[in-house]
Amino acid sequence: MIRTESGLYRGFQQNNAKNLELELRIDVNGNRPLMIISGDIFSKTIPKKYLWSFLFTKVKRKVTNNRIELTSKQGKFSSNSNKFSEIIVNIHTKRDQIEAEVNLKRARGTDLQFICIRKSESFRKIIIENDYEEDVKKFPVNKEIEIIAPNNKKIKFSIQRALFDAGIELALGEAGSNAVPIKFAISPEHMHYYWTESELHNAMIHHFSKWEDKPQWIVWMFSASRYEDPSYMGIMFHGLRGNHRQACAVFHKSIAEKKLQLYISVHELGHCFNLQHPWEKTGTSCSSSLSWMNYPWNYVKSKRLTPSKKWFWNAFRFQFDKSELSHIRHGFRNEVIFGGSEFVGGIASKILKNPSQKSSFISKNKSGLQLRLDIPRDKKEFIFGEPIVVELKLFTESNRKIEVHSLKSNSNLMNRCLHPKYEFVQIAICNCEQANQIKNYRPLFKPFLSLNKTKIDKCSPIYESAYIGFGQDGFYFKNSGKYSLCASYRALDGSIIISNILEIEIPEPKEDNKKIAKLLLDDEQGELLYLKGSDSRYLSKGNDAIDKLITQHSTHPFNVYTKFIKGYNLGREFKFFRKDNLIGIRKPKITEAEDLLSSVEELSTKKGEGIDNISLYETMIHHAKIEINAAKIEINAKHKEKAYKLRDRMINIFRNEKKLNNNVMNSIENQIEKILDQEN
């Protein structure tokens, strides 16, 4: 008698042309059964080609003699041209193997019939390459650590065990688990290193031995020391040119507890499977989900109570919730596989589709907050091909203090939680010239954050600017014409704050300008704009195009952006992989960075030209850090003197030329003084 028939089956079509292959997943008993049968259909070719998927729920199970019959009429299909009214699966033992006869029945037309053999008790198998820095204590995916479970019970758990419990077999890739031996290649003054998005992107392509620009069941996990922003504890990031969710990193020196290191590792792998945070699905601020995908400090027992990580750990059973389990085991292949499609949705896109819905959200907004979406001050229009930057302002007209999200790294002036790279803000973009096609702006990286809170009132709004020209979908403004934009912010009380609808027009370019625009409109240049520059040899064509724009079209308005990303990148060190597989450091190129950033600052003081005020503030802060770091490394007083002159110029620009209000100026002055104090 068959003890359990759940698991993965593979087989081939038996009727008609016999040119199809089926990967079948039966989930009716065993660990947390969901009573689902799902499958993926492939062409029987070399190499085989994925065609479509199906999923049947509410499966009925009937046992007769040595045969088990499974049936369901509740089907969902990834292809509209391949729909079936019922699935019937007969399972029996034959020659010491479990065999399934599968019949996909149509209401009209020819049924599909397969014979499949059970291959595994798991539903899917993935391969992971787990690299780690040599300075980071080894934390491989199959290493069990002792943790305290609910009721103070001690258990041993690992990343591999967490996925196995979800029905996923996890195997180490041929490359195994490799050290990234940074410390042997770093000189003493660089021992306090961290990673940037640009370097992580480069590291993935270099160190991920099985990386390909296509969907596959292989993922890269990097156990790193720390990120440049101390608020980051983990991050999931995407491959190039539209292949999503292929890699993640965990920053172990930003996480004190082993239990939390394990938790964040599984959480980031969950994102690679295309799982969302539970509050993103419900549109609320916190969640009662006891899942790997929640934030422990974001857990609430009920709506009446405040979030508590203590309550979370007391009740968490180290598992995904039921809907997440269903997705990982049975989601349509392209929605689960690494490098596949990405979940799309959001409130802002709904408002652009139907602006009348905005009044409903306004009436439900009990937070007292308002959100403003704008283009930079004095900007009349964007040139075709110009990087699109928008400004966000979160404010209230109330005298009372209102709590809002904040990162540990925030200054008083800018609140990074307003940037759409985090989960609190969404920006939807409608191309009015192309049948009102609507896309959500989707960043290349998705971080796990350690959050703070801050308070604002009518005298202390918070601001952020965001480059939204390039993301997971490539360029969002690649065509001339009219665009409509709308943003939403999820407040701490669960209210959804809807911005105004912003109209942007990009005029049709002249032929000469179209040729220049092409120097910025390839994917590599888009990635460089997103990353604020990179030394990666994998983006060399993009860097060549940017250099050509700077040298051959030196007076073109685009060069304020190219000089910004080039100067920003040259002003910081960059980790690169040497031929001996150690990591070398390209030290900051101080003089080149000074020249480029000074040019950006000068261009941006002219009315209606240059970068926006917030980006200019960021540029000058970064410039000041370059000078202070150079003063430390070179022990040279000239850099300290330059930093103090930069402070005076910065205050003059924003107070006298930009005429910012006193509250904002106080924040700017406080922040620049903090930078200068680091030298002492």
DSSP codes of every residue in 178-191: -EE-GGGG--GGG-
Residue 240, pLDDT above cutoff 70:
no
Cβ atoms 500, 488 nearer than 8 A:
no
Q: How many residues does the chain have?
A: 680
Instruction: Let me know: does 334 contact 51? Beta carbons within 8 Å.
Output: no
List CB contacts of 41: < 8 A, sequence separation 6 or more: 20, 21, 22, 50, 51, 52, 53, 54, 82
- Claim to verify: residue 266 and residue 356 sit in the same structural domain: no
Q: Which of 98, 120, 142 represents a domain boundary (last residue)? A: 120
> Contact at 8 Å (CB) between 539 and 197?
no
Domain for residue 304, yes or no? no
User: Among positive and negative, which fits the CA dihedral 27, 29, 30, 34?
Assistant: positive
The segment with the largest mean pLDDT, out of 405-419, 423-437, 473-487, is 473-487
C-alpha pair distances (Å), 414 with each of 79, 375, 401: 45, 16, 18
| Domain-embedded: residue 314 | no
**Residue 350 and residue 498 in one domain:** yes
Q: The tokens 């407040």 sit on which residue?
A: 491
pLDDT band at 28 (very low <50, low <70, confident <90, very high): very high
Domain boundary among 508, 524, 548: 508
Q: Percentage of the chain surpassing pLDDT 70?
A: 88
Alpha carbon of 261 to those of 88, 127, 249, 254, 543: distances in Å?
Answer: 44, 20, 11, 9, 36
d(CA 275, CA 293): 7
- Residue 291 CA to residue 277 CA, distance in Å, equals 9
Q: Of 61, 96, 120, which marks where a domain is finished?
A: 120
Does position 668 have pLDDT exceeding 80, yes or no? yes
- Other beta carbons within 10 angstroms of residue 526's beta carbon come to 24
Distance between CA atoms of residues 361 and 497, nearest Å: 7
Q: Is residue 167 part of a domain?
A: yes
The answer to whether position 226 is within a domain reads yes
Helical residues (DSSP H) of 69-119, grouped into ranges: none
Residue 329 and residue 417 share a domain? no
Residue 414 buriedness (CB in 10 A; 0-12 / 13-18 / 19+): buried
Please state at what angle helix 613-634 crosses helix 637-652, rounded to 10 degrees: 160
Pairing of strands 67-72, 86-94: antiparallel
pLDDT at 412: 45
Does the residue 297 lie in any domain? no
| Contact between 485 and 428 (Cβ < 8 Å) | yes
Q: Given this model, what pLDDT does residue 53 score?
A: 95
User: Both 116 and 237 in a single domain?
Assistant: no
Averaged pLDDT of the chain: 84
High-pLDDT (> 90) share of the chain, %: 34
Note whether 55 and 139 are same-domain residues. Answer: no
pLDDT of 447 reads 86
- The conformational region for residue 665 under phi > 0 = left, psi -120 to 50 = alpha, else beta, is alpha
Task: Kindly give, in sequence order, each residue whose CB lies less than 8 Å from that of residue 172, ignoring residues fewer than 6 positions away.
Answer: 127, 128, 129, 130, 140, 141, 142
Work out the average pLDDT over 309-334: 92
CA–CA distance, 477 with 510 (Å, rounded to integer)? 17
Tell me if 653 is assigned to some domain.
yes
Does 221 score more than 50 pLDDT? yes
Query: For residue range 514-571, what is the model confidence (pLDDT) as tens digits?
Result: 888 889 999 999 999 999 999 988 899 999 999 999 999 988 989 999 999 999 999 9
**What single letter denotes the amino acid at residue 92?**
H
pLDDT-based confidence at residue 145 (cuts at 50, 70, 90): confident
Judge if 379 and 492 occupy the same domain.
yes
Out of 191-200, 394-403, 663-672, which region has the weakest mean confidence (pLDDT)?
Answer: 191-200
Q: What are phi and psi of 424, to 5 degrees?
A: -85, -30
At residue 364, what are phi and psi to the nearest 5 degrees? -90, -10
Phi then psi for 606, rounded to 5 degrees?
-85, 140
Q: Give me the CATH number covering residue 218.
A: 3.40.390
The dihedral through the CA atoms of 470, 293, 499, 659 has a sign that is negative
Q: pLDDT at position 333, please?
A: 93
Cα 601 from Cα 606, distance rounded (Å): 10
* φ, ψ of residue 561 in degrees (nearest 5): -80, -45
81 and 158, same domain (yes or no):
no
Q: Domain check: are 538 and 392 in the same one?
A: no
One-letter-per-residue 3-state SS of 197-220: HHHHHHHHHHHCCCCCCCCCCEEE
Which residues are paired to 145 by β-bridges? Answer: 157
CATH of the domain at 101: 2.40.128
**Which spans in 635-661 are helix H?**
637-652
Residues 358 and 479 both lie in one domain? yes
Tell me the pTM: 0.86
Q: Are strands 470-471 and 474-475 parallel, antiparallel or unpaired?
A: antiparallel
Select the more confidently predicted residue: 82 or 187. Answer: 82
Cα within 13 Å of Cα(166), Cβ side: 32
Q: Which residues contact 580 (CB under 8 A, 6 or more apart)?
A: none
CA–CA separation, 350 vs 438, rounded Å? Answer: 9
Tokens in use for 171? 């195997």
Q: Answer whether residue 301 is part of any domain.
A: no
User: What is the pLDDT at residue 460?
Assistant: 84
Residues 541 and 660 in one domain: yes
Quote the number of domains for the chain.
4
* pLDDT tops 50 at residue 191: no
Same domain (yes/no): 401, 420? yes
Q: Domain range holding 393?
A: 344-508
Same-domain check for residues 271 and 418 = no
pLDDT band at 202 (very low <50, low <70, confident <90, very high): confident
First to last CA, the chain: 77
In a domain, 523, yes or no: no
Confidence of residue 674 (pLDDT cuts 50, 70, 90): confident
In whole angstroms, what is the distance from residue 345 CA to residue 501 CA? 18
